Amino acid sequence: MGGLTKAQKALIKFEGCLDHNFILQSATHDARQSSKIGVFSLLDLKNVFGGLPHCVIMKTFRWIGLDVEAVCLIKVLYDGCYTRICTSKGTTNPIRINAGVRQGCPLSPRGHLFLSSTLLLSQ
């Protein structure tokens, strides 16, 4: 998949989390054996699917090289999105959705991958 870094382990044929754990254990073991200091950084993204503004999502798709027509098509899917909440006392007014990838959409997992890869590649 274009735009993805090999450090990204989601949506691949093997268990990527196990690979990351093995690398971390090996690096920790090597640091201890050589009496060197090991410095490790872990990134935990809170609300990764719902937290990114739509404008950031569109910029990311352009950054990875998605053509303008495809980005415009995706933008149409996201522009003007809203939801309502139904309760026992009635339905709320429309609530605008300005952030997050759409759950259940086939684009959601790849959209998330591209966004997180952008974070990894920009370091």
Look up residue 109 and give its two tokens: 């997992």
Rounded Cα gap, residues 73 and 54, in angstroms: 13
| Residue 68, pLDDT score | 93
pLDDT band at 1 (very low <50, low <70, confident <90, very high): very low
In terms of pTM, does the model score above 0.85? no
The domain ranges of the chain are 43-121
Q: What would the pLDDT profile of 50-103 be if each residue is shown by its tens digit?
A: 777 888 888 888 888 889 999 999 899 888 889 999 999 999 999 998 888 777
Q: What is the mean pLDDT of residues 26-43?
A: 86
Mean pLDDT of the chain: 79
DSSP string, 4-38: --TT--TTSSS-HHHHHHHHHHHHHHHHHHTT---
